[in-house]
Structure 1
Amino acid sequence: MHRHIIVSGDDALATTIADELKNAGATVVRLLDAETSEAGVAGELTLHDVSRALAVVCAGNDDARNLEIALLARKANPDVRVVARVANDVLREAVADDEGPGATLDVADLAAPSVVEACLAQTTHRFDAAGIEFVVSGTTASREATLRELYGDLAPVAVIHCQNSPDPGEMDVCPGRDQRVHRGDTAIMIGTADEIAAQGIRIPSATRTRTGRPWPRRVIDSVRGVLGDFNPTFYPVVAATTLVLISSTIILRFGYQAPPTMGWIDAFYFTVETMTTTGYGDFSFVNQPTWLRTFSTMLMFSGVTTTALLVSFVADVLLSRRFVFASARPRVRHLRNHIVVVGLSALGMRVVSDLTAAGYEVAVIELDEENRFLSAVRDLDVPVIFGDATLRQTLKAARVDRARAVAVLTRDDMINIETGIVLTEMLGTRTETREHWTPVPLVLRVYDRTLGFAVAQRFGFENVRSTVELAAPWFIGGAIGLQVLGTFSVGQRSFVVGGMQVAPGSELDGLRMYELSTHTRVIAITTSNGLLKLHPRRDARLHGDDTVYLVGPYRDLIETLRRGRPPRPPADEGQQQEAKAS
C-alpha cells in the first residue's frame, strides 16, 4: 500500500471517519481495538506499513491507546499526518507540542460551540479566513424577492422555507443569489462583518454581563442549603435533644442538693457534661436523692443516644461532597432565564464554561456526587442539583419552567432521550402541526448521528446535536489536508468552513466556479501571488497554488478537496492489485 490512511478505533466516530474517507476516494486501513496482535500497537503499525501512509487517525475513545498509536506512528514516519483524539487536557497539550503535521483534537471542544449556539438560539457565527473576519448570520426575508435583491453580494449558505412557501420546512443548501424567497423564509447568509452590517443585519453582542451574588446572599444561601441537605430525621432528633437539655437543666437547678449550690449555668454545664459522658468530677450524683440518681441514669442513656444520632447526621453532611454545593437549591429558587445543563460530562463542562464566560446564569443537574468536574463547577460559582434528571422532581428543583434553555448532555444517549421526553411532557403543548412542542429550547446530545437523526424525526426535537457529526469533519480534514476553520449547524444540518490549496494539474486547476459542487460556496480565493478575491463570480477560474475558502456540508467539501489533490501517478500492476485488495 502507498499513501493510504490508517484509522484506529472501533466506535461510531472512527467508523464514520473511515466511511467518509472511503467515499472521498481514499484508501483506508482500519486498526480495531479488538484486533491488536500479540506484537502490540507497534507491530500493527508495521504490518499496515505506516512508513508509507498519508495519515494516521487515532479516533478511539481510549486516550492512552490513542496517545500510544500517535507517538509510535510519528516515530516510525516523521512526515505522516497524525490526527489524535485526546480528551485529557494535559496529554493533549503535550502531544500538541509535537511539530509534526497533523492535529490533536477533543470531541467536547469541537461539539460545545454548536450546543452553546443552540441554547442561546444564535443564528450568527464568526470565523476568520484569509485574515478576514467572516460572519454567518440568519435573517428573515422581509418580502418576496431574489436573494440578490434582498442581500446584495452576501453569499447564501442555506434557505429554510416558511409556511408561506410551497415547501414549508424544506432547506435549500447553498442556493444561487438569483433564487427567489418568500416573505418569512429564513436565509443564512455569509459575508464580512462590514458587509453584513451594510445590509442592515444586526450582529448580536458575543457576551453579556453576569450578575454576581453579594456576600450576604452567599452566606444566606449557604446556610439554607446546608440546613436543607440534612436527613429529615435530623430535626426531630435536634428537638428531642433540646427538650432533654432544657428539662435536665431545670431539674438540676432546683433538685440538686448542696453543697455546693447549683445555679442556672452550673445546671446547664452539668447537663451537657453528663449527656456527653465527659465527667470532669466537679459535680456528682453520688450523694443525691434516689430519684435524682435514677434521673441521671436516664439522662446519661438519652444523652448518649441523641448525641450519637446528631454526630452521625452532621458527619453524613460534612463528609459528603454535597456539602460543597449545599447552596444550590436555594440559589436556583431565585434564578430566572437561566440555562440548565444536565450531566457534567466533558461536553457538559465545556458548555458550562462557555456559557458562564459569556455572562449567562447556569444551573447543573448531576447524578454522581463524585464527578471529577465538580471542583471546576464550584470555581465557576455554578449551583449543582444532585439527582436523577429523568425524574420530574429533579427537573422541577432546577426550575426548568423558568429556564432560557435546557441542554441534556450526559454520556448515555438513552438517558438523554428519556430526559428529553420527560421535559417535553412537562413543558410541552399539543398543536395541530406538531404533537410535542416546548417553548423552552431543548438541546439533546446524542453521540451517534444516525440515532440522532432518528430521534429528532420521531419525537420532534429541533436541536439534537450528534457529537460524531460535529467532530468528524475536523478529523477528516486533518487527515487529508483540509484546513477546517469552523463548524456550525442550521437546523439538523452541519456546515463546515474550510480552506484548501489547489494542486497544479488537479481537476480543479483551471475550473470555473459554476463547475464546482452546487452544495458548496466559495467565499474567498487567495491567489498564488497573494491577491485576495472576495465572493468570486461564477465565471472566475481556479488556478494551481490558489488557496480556496469554502463553506458547505462537509461531505461536499471533502469531495471538492479530493478534486483539488495532485493527480495520482500511474500505478504498476502490483500496486493496482494491492489497492484493489485493500
Structure 2
Amino acid sequence: MVGHTIVSGADALAVRIAEELRSAGATVTVIDRADQLTSAGIATAASVVCAGSDDAANLEIALLARRLSSTVRVVTRLANGVLREAMVARNGPGAVLDVADLAAPSVVEACLQRTTHSIAAGDLRFVVSGADTPRSGTLRDIYGDLAPVAVVRGVHSPTPGEVAACPGRDLHVDEGDWVAMIGTEDELAADGPVAGARAAGSHRSPLTRIGNAARAFHEDVNPNFYRALAASLGLLLGSTILLWLTYDMPGMSFVDALYFSTETIATVGYGDFSFSGQPTWLRLFSIVLMFAGITTTAVLVAFVADLLLSRRLAYSAGRRKVRELQDHMIVVGLGSFGVRVASDLKAAGHDVAVIELNDENRYLSAAADLEIPVIFGDATLPSTLEAARIDDAVAVAVLTDDDMVNIETAIVSRERSKDRPLDVPVVLRVFDRALGAAVAHRFRFENVLSTVELAAPWFIGAALGLTVFGTFSVGQASFMVGGVRVGASSELDGIRMAELSTQTRVIAIVGHDGARELHPRRDSQLHAGDIAYLVGPYRELLDTLRKGQGSSAATAIT
C-alpha cells in the first residue's frame, strides 16, 4: 500500500475518523499498538492518526511513527496540556489536537445562549450568526448579500426541523425559521440576524452576600442549637432580674446583676460580688444557677463545635461555597472536557459549580485553582442537583463520558427547572450521532452536542493535509469552515462558483496577488494559487477541499 492512512484507537472518535476517511476514498489501516506500525506500512503511509482515548498509547504511537518516518503526517490526540505543548514543538508534518479544545466553545456558546460563532481564517475573521427570521420572504430580501449557511425550518413551515445546508439567497423562508448567516463582523452588524447571549452574572452586593451567609449559617446549624441558646439566654435573663430585685447589702443595678449572673453561669468569679451574706434561698439558687450554667454552656459549646466541623467538611466538598451562588452554571463531569468548559464559563464572568462522582478525580486541583466548587455525588439524583442549587442555576452542561448518564441527568435537570419562568438551557454531550439525534427528537432537547461530530473534521482534515478553521452545529447538523490553496490542474482550478457543490459555499477568495473577494458571485472563478475559504457540512466540505489539492498535497494555510 502507498499513500494510505493508519488509524489507532477503538473509541467513538477513532471509529468515526476511520469511517469518514474510507468514505472519502482513502485506504485505512487500523492498529491497536505501536509495534504494529511497521506491519501496517508506516514507510509508505501518507498519515498516522493517533485518536484513541489513552494519552500514553497515543504518545507512544506518535513518537514511534515520527522516528520511523520523517515525512508522514502524524495527527495526535492528547488531552494532557504539558505533553501537547511538548509535542507541538517538534511534531513535523501533522497536528496535535485536544478534543476539549475543539468542542468546548460550542458547549460554552450553548450555555450562554449565544447564537454567534467567531472563526479566524488566515488573516480574515468570519462570524456565523443565527436567529429566528423576523418575517417571511427570500433570504436576499431579508439579509442582503450575506452568505446563508443553513436554515432550520420552524413551526410555520410544512417540514419543521428540516435543515437546508448552504441554501441559495433566493430561498423562501417563513417567519420563525432559524437562519444562520456568515460574514465579517461589520457585515453582520449592518444586515445580520440579531443575535443574543446571556449576560454575565451580576455582581453581588454586600447586602446580598450577608443574606447568603445568613442563609448558609441557618442551613448548617443543628435545629437544637436554637433551643439550647434560648435556654441559656432565658437562664441569664431570669437570673439577672432576680438578682436585680433581691440582692441585698448593698443593692445591685441591672448592669451589675447581668454581670454577676454571667460570672456565675460561666463559673468565673472575680470576688467583686458573692452570695456570702445573702438569704439562704438565694444561695441555694446560686448552686442551681452554677450547675445549670455549666450544663447549658457545655451544650452550646458542643453545638458550636459540631457547626464548625460540619462547615469545614462542607467547604472541603464544595457545598459551602455553592450555597453562596446565584445565577450560576452547573457543569456535570470533571474530565478534560468538563474542566475546559468550566474554565471558559468562569473566564466569561459566570459563577460555576461542578458535580463529579469520583472524589479522586485528577482535575480537582485544576478546579481548585479556578476557585470552582465541586459537589461530589451522583448527578442523576435530585439531592445532588439540589446541593448544586439547580433551582438558582441559569444553565446546566452534562458532560460525563457515559451517554446514558448524560441523558438521565439532562432529563432530571429539565424536570427540576421546567416550572421556572426563565428558560434554562440544558446542554448534553452524546458521543453517538444517531443516538444524539434520536434523543433531541424524542425528548425535545435543543442542545445535544456530539464531541465526535465537532472534533472529527479537525482530525480528518489534518490527516488529509487540509486546513480546518472551525466547526459548529446548526440544529443536529455539523458544519465546518475550511480553506484550500487551489492547486494547478486540480478540479477547482478554473471552476466557477455556480459549478460547485450546492452543499458548500465559498465565502471568500484571496488571489495570489492578495486581492480579496468576499461572498463571490456565481460567475466568479477560482484559479491556481488562489486561497478559497469555504463553509458547509463537513463531509461535503472535506470532499471539496480535497478537489482543490490536485495531485499533491496543498500548502498549509496559516
Pair in the same fold by TM > 0.5: yes
- TM-score normalised over the length of structure 2: 0.80
Residue in structure 2 matched with residue 59 of structure 1 by the alignment: 51
Residue in structure 2 matched with residue 354 of structure 1 by the alignment: 344
Q: Aligned with 1:66: secondary structure?
A: helix
Residue in structure 1 matched with residue 110 of structure 2 by the alignment: 118
Quick check: 1:526–1:548 contact (8 Å CA) kept in 2? yes
Give the superposition deviation at 1:265. 7.8
Distance 1:314 1:398, change over 3 A: closer
Quick check: 2:311–2:320 contact (8 Å CA) kept in 1? no
Residue in structure 2 matched with residue 323 of structure 1 by the alignment: 316
Q: Give, in whole Å, the separation in 2 of the partners of 1:412 and 1:269.
A: 61
Q: Aligned with 1:47: secondary structure?
A: coil
Q: Aligned with 2:494: secondary structure?
A: coil
Q: Give, in whole Å, the separation in 2 of the partners of 1:194 and 1:150.
A: 17
For residues 415-454 of structure 1, the aligned pairs below 5 Å read: 415-428=405-418, 439-454=423-438
Give the superposition deviation at 1:19. 0.5
Give the superposition deviation at 1:358. 1.1
Residue in structure 1 matched with residue 76 of structure 2 by the alignment: 84
Q: Give, in whole Å, the separation in 2 of the partners of 1:367 and 1:221.
A: 26
Distance 1:406 1:516, change over 3 A: same
Distance 1:322 1:446, change over 3 A: farther
Which deviations, in whole Å up to 9, do the C-alpha atoms of 1:26-77 show, x marking residues without a partner? 1111112xxx4xxxx2x31111221221111100011011011111111211
Give the superposition deviation at 1:379. 3.6
Q: Give, in whole Å, the separation in 2 of the partners of 1:369 and 1:124.
A: 36
Residue in structure 2 matched with residue 150 of structure 1 by the alignment: 142
Distance 1:66 1:136, change over 3 A: same
Q: Give, in whole Å, the separation in 2 of the partners of 1:377 and 1:124.
A: 27
Distance 1:313 1:196, change over 3 A: closer
Residue in structure 2 matched with residue 195 of structure 1 by the alignment: 187
Distance 1:68 1:307, change over 3 A: farther
Quick check: 2:496–2:522 contact (8 Å CA) kept in 1? yes
Distance 1:68 1:194, change over 3 A: same
The one-letter code sitting in structure 2 at the alignment partner of 1:179 is L
Q: Give, in whole Å, the separation in 2 of the partners of 1:568 and 1:523.
A: 24
Q: Give, in whole Å, the separation in 1 of the partners of 2:62 and 2:517.
A: 38
Q: Give, in whole Å, the separation in 2 of the partners of 1:439 and 1:224.
A: 26
Distance 1:85 1:225, change over 3 A: farther
For residues 116-195 of structure 1, the aligned pairs below 5 Å read: 116-195=108-187
Quick check: 2:488–2:528 contact (8 Å CA) kept in 1? yes
Residue in structure 2 matched with residue 44 of structure 1 by the alignment: 36
For residues 563-574 of structure 1, the aligned pairs below 5 Å read: 563-567=547-551
Q: Give, in whole Å, the separation in 2 of the partners of 1:559 and 1:410.
A: 32
**After alignment, is 217-226 or 86-95 more displaced?**
217-226
Quick check: 1:503–1:509 contact (8 Å CA) kept in 2? yes
Aligned pair count reads 505
Give the superposition deviation at 1:212. 5.1
Give the superposition deviation at 1:307. 11
Give the superposition deviation at 1:112. 0.8
Quick check: 2:150–2:165 contact (8 Å CA) kept in 1? yes
Which deviations, in whole Å up to 9, do the C-alpha atoms of 1:435-489 show, x marking residues without a partner? xx99421111112223222222232222111111111111111111221111111
Q: Give, in whole Å, the separation in 2 of the partners of 1:164 and 1:216.
A: 48
Q: Give, in whole Å, the separation in 2 of the partners of 1:374 and 1:220.
A: 29
Q: Aligned with 1:472: secondary structure?
A: helix
Quick check: 1:347–1:409 contact (8 Å CA) kept in 2? yes
**After alignment, is 101-110 or 528-537 more displaced?**
528-537
Give the counterpart of 1:93 among 82, 85, 100.
Answer: 85
CA-based RMSD:
3.7
Distance 1:200 1:448, change over 3 A: closer
Distance 1:213 1:123, change over 3 A: closer
Distance 1:511 1:268, change over 3 A: same
Query: Does 1:3 pair with 2:6?
Result: no
Residue in structure 2 matched with residue 434 of structure 1 by the alignment: none
Query: Does 1:526 pair with 2:510?
Result: yes
Quick check: 2:323–2:389 contact (8 Å CA) kept in 1? no
The one-letter code sitting in structure 1 at the alignment partner of 2:444 is G
Residue in structure 2 matched with residue 478 of structure 1 by the alignment: 462
Q: Aligned with 2:498: secondary structure?
A: helix
Quick check: 2:200–2:349 contact (8 Å CA) kept in 1? yes
Q: Aligned with 1:395: secondary structure?
A: helix
**After alignment, is 407-416 or 452-461 more displaced?**
452-461
Q: Aligned with 2:149: secondary structure?
A: strand
Distance 1:73 1:309, change over 3 A: farther
Quick check: 2:52–2:58 contact (8 Å CA) kept in 1? yes
Which deviations, in whole Å up to 9, do the C-alpha atoms of 1:284-327 show, x marking residues without a partner? xxxxxxxxxxxx9xx9xxx9x99999989977875x58526342
Q: Give, in whole Å, the separation in 2 of the partners of 1:220 and 1:423.
A: 26
The one-letter code sitting in structure 1 at the alignment partner of 2:318 is F
Give the superposition deviation at 1:532. 1.8
Which deviations, in whole Å up to 9, do the C-alpha atoms of 1:210-267 show, x marking residues without a partner? 555678977986797588568x69x78x969x99xx9xxx9xxxxxxxxxxxx99899
Distance 1:78 1:214, change over 3 A: farther
Q: Give, in whole Å, the separation in 2 of the partners of 1:339 and 1:383.
A: 11
Residue in structure 2 matched with residue 389 of structure 1 by the alignment: 379
Distance 1:8 1:180, change over 3 A: same
The one-letter code sitting in structure 1 at the alignment partner of 2:381 is L
Residue in structure 2 matched with residue 461 of structure 1 by the alignment: 445
Q: Give, in whole Å, the separation in 2 of the partners of 1:130 and 1:407.
A: 32
Quick check: 2:322–2:353 contact (8 Å CA) kept in 1? no
Q: Aligned with 2:323: secondary structure?
A: helix
Give the counterpart of 1:511 among 485, 491, 495.
Answer: 495
Q: Give, in whole Å, the separation in 1 of the partners of 2:310 and 2:423.
A: 40
Give the superposition deviation at 1:559. 1.2
Q: Give, in whole Å, the separation in 2 of the partners of 1:424 and 1:227.
A: 28
The one-letter code sitting in structure 2 at the alignment partner of 1:377 is A
Distance 1:20 1:182, change over 3 A: same
Q: Give, in whole Å, the separation in 1 of the partners of 2:103 and 2:552.
A: 35
For residues 209-358 of structure 1, the aligned pairs below 5 Å read: 210-211=201-202, 322-323=315-316, 325-332=318-325, 335-336=326-327, 338-358=328-348
Q: Give, in whole Å, the separation in 1 of the partners of 2:304 and 2:136.
A: 73
Quick check: 1:226–1:326 contact (8 Å CA) kept in 2? no
**After alignment, is 217-226 or 507-516 more displaced?**
217-226
Q: Aligned with 1:156: secondary structure?
A: strand
Give the superposition deviation at 1:87. 0.6
Q: Give, in whole Å, the separation in 1 of the partners of 2:210 and 2:92.
A: 52
The one-letter code sitting in structure 2 at the alignment partner of 1:127 is I
Residue in structure 1 matched with residue 246 of structure 2 by the alignment: none
Quick check: 2:410–2:428 contact (8 Å CA) kept in 1? yes
Distance 1:177 1:26, change over 3 A: same
Structure 1 unaligned residues grouped into runs of 5+: 251-262, 271-295, 430-436, 570-582
Distance 1:414 1:159, change over 3 A: same
Quick check: 2:487–2:550 contact (8 Å CA) kept in 1? yes
Which deviations, in whole Å up to 9, do the C-alpha atoms of 1:109-168 show, x marking residues without a partner? 111111111112221111122412211111333333221122111101011222222222
Residue in structure 1 matched with residue 545 of structure 2 by the alignment: 561
Quick check: 1:520–1:556 contact (8 Å CA) kept in 2? yes
- TM-score normalised over the length of structure 1: 0.77
Distance 1:484 1:182, change over 3 A: same
